[in-house]
Amino acid sequence: MTDSPSSLKTVSIVSLGCSKNLVDSELILGSLKKAGYETSSESDADLIIVNTCGFISEAKKESINTIIELLQYKRQGSCRKLIVTGCLVERYADELKRQLPEVDAFWGTGDLLKIGEIIGKNEIKKIHKSAPGTLYDPDSPRVLTTLPHTAYVKVSEGCSRTCSFCIIPKLRGIMKSRTVESIIGEVRILANLGVKEINLIAQDMTSYGRDIGTNLETLLRGLVNVDGIRWIRLLYCYPWGFTDSLVKIIREEDKILNYIDMPLQHINDRILKLMDRGTTSIRIINIINKLRNEIPELTLRTTFIAGFPSETEEEFKELLDFVEEAQFERAGAFKYSQEEGTKAGDMSHQIPDEVKEERYERLLEVQSEVSLNKNRALIGTVHEGFIEGRENGNYIARIPSQAPEVDGVTYIKRNKKLKVGDLVKVSITDADIYDLFGEVVS
Ligand code: SF4
């Protein structure tokens, strides 16, 4: 690499994939800022970083297309270094190096706290490899990229489960939890910066702490005492580990939202077994009933896979019936993606793409009916909400049952001057499949 260490001073990062990758991007920016970089737009940046996703084929395509698109800035000369990081590198470093020679360096998911120092000293190798996954502490430099009142907090890295369709444990390593003290320390700093909503994230939230002799409930007992935090949201829970005491603290502590994101993937026992989910339809239904019975006005979000290898029409129909019966407030879906390096990727009876597509559409259709009815049932109710922006003369807000990025929003008539981060009381006046409409009542 020809450029001297001090000559590069501005950086722009494109963060793809999940919220855990977004936290990594914020840590990369923090590390570069510490090394003297300033953030700037892609078109002005000396250094561009593409933090990629390598989870499933659609995400891989998006990552490659984004890299190719941003390489134009190198050809134009505004960008002098383009570095690719993240899960796609963790999976395909050598192929990427061969196929994308214009990229200056490739860096996986590990060691991200060191990236600024190594780039700053111009010591970065073409492929920087290390153990996968990056944990961090309160004093790790981080540049928040979310709106000022909300932030993600990664409580653990990696996953120790063996779901047969999933490549993540190979990209992020086995589960490693941060200490309760480290997480509470970080949330205190975020609260002092004005953050009000903490979105707790992991690959497997309900297993938090199992590897270090603690648990999610203990963490939550500490987090609810952090002054200034108003909302604590649980994302990426596994259908396991909802002890009576964990459910009790979610129910009793106002700061902990009655919102649970719990990807289920399927409900048919033969498919759950092939997926190696380590659970059964009965146990899933028991957990849902327990959560519904014990947590009032619960918002339950989940995700399903359509078209898993050998899935029959009857088994898929069973899933559709379950979605209709279970009445999830939020449910997303993926078409099964055959991934090399996963057990399911080598399974026979792969489902044809057109059948996957057709099942995916049917699943979304059933859920859209459920979502519409659930949203309409909120008309006339009042909720607190954070103002997040404006669109077509309306304000955009999120209420507790709306997680950032993945759920709908609430459009509010502009009947008074408001700014991003304001907390208001919203009366819901109308609803559609994904979004709500309302007006400020105080
Ligand atoms: S719980 Fe399963 S699907 Fe989720 S990250 Fe772990 S292995 Fe993948």
Residue nearest ligand 1's atom 5 by CA: 203
425 has pLDDT over 50? yes
**Ligand 1 atom having least distance to the Cα of 172:** 5
Ligand 1 center to residue 262 CA distance, Å? Answer: 11
Q: Which residue has the tokens 């944990």?
A: 135
Q: pLDDT value at position 120?
A: 87
Residue nearest ligand 1's atom 8 by CA: 166
* First CA to last CA distance, the chain: 58
- Check if 5-128 and 150-376 are the same fold: no
Ligand 1 center to residue 95 CA distance, Å? Answer: 25
Ligand 1 center to residue 155 CA distance, Å? Answer: 15
5 has pLDDT over 90? no
- Ligand 1 pocket test target in 21, 91, 161, 235 with most atoms within 8 Å of CB: 161
**Ligand 1 atom having least distance to the Cα of 169:** 7
**Ligand 1 atom having least distance to the Cα of 166:** 8
Q: pLDDT value at position 1?
A: 42
Ligand 1 center to residue 148 CA distance, Å? Answer: 30
Q: Note whether 128 and 89 are within 8 A (CB).
A: no
Q: Which residues line ligand 1 (CB under 6 A)?
A: 159, 161, 163, 166, 168-169, 203-204, 238
Sheet strands side by side (includes 10-15): 38-39, 10-15, 47-52, 81-86, 105-107, 127-128
176 has pLDDT over 90? yes
pLDDT (average), residues 298-310:
98
**Ligand 1 atom having least distance to the Cα of 238:** 1
Fold of 5-128: Rossmann fold (3.40.50)
pLDDT (average), residues 342-351:
98
Concatenated DSSP letters of 89-103: HHHHHHHHHHH-TT-
Write down the domain spans for the chain: 5-128, 150-376, 382-441
Residue nearest ligand 1's atom 2 by CA: 163
pLDDT (average), residues 38-48:
95
Q: What is the pLDDT of residues 359-415, one digit of tens each?
A: 999 999 999 999 999 999 999 999 999 999 999 889 999 999 999 999 999 999 877
Q: What is the pLDDT of residues 89-128, one digit of tens each?
A: 999 999 999 999 999 999 999 999 999 999 988 888 899 9
Ligand 1 center to residue 20 CA distance, Å? Answer: 13
Ligand 1 center to residue 441 CA distance, Å? Answer: 42
Cβ neighbours of residue 428 closer than 8 Å, sequence gap 6 or more: 378, 379, 380, 381, 382, 383, 410, 436, 437, 438
pLDDT band at 6 (very low <50, low <70, confident <90, very high): low
Q: pLDDT value at position 356?
A: 98
2 has pLDDT over 60? no
Please tell me the class of the 382-441 domain.
Answer: mainly beta
CATH 3.40.50.970 at 150-376, yes or no: no
State the Cα–Cα distance between residues 173 and 186, nearest whole angstrom: 23
Q: pLDDT value at position 122?
A: 83
**Ligand 1 atom having least distance to the Cα of 160:** 6
Mean pLDDT of the chain: 96
Ligand 1 center to residue 168 CA distance, Å? Answer: 7
List strand residue ranges (DSSP E) for 3-161, in order.
10-15, 38-39, 47-52, 81-86, 105-107, 127-128, 150-154, 156-157
Ligand 1 center to residue 250 CA distance, Å? Answer: 23
Hey, which residues does 306 pair with through a beta bridge?
335
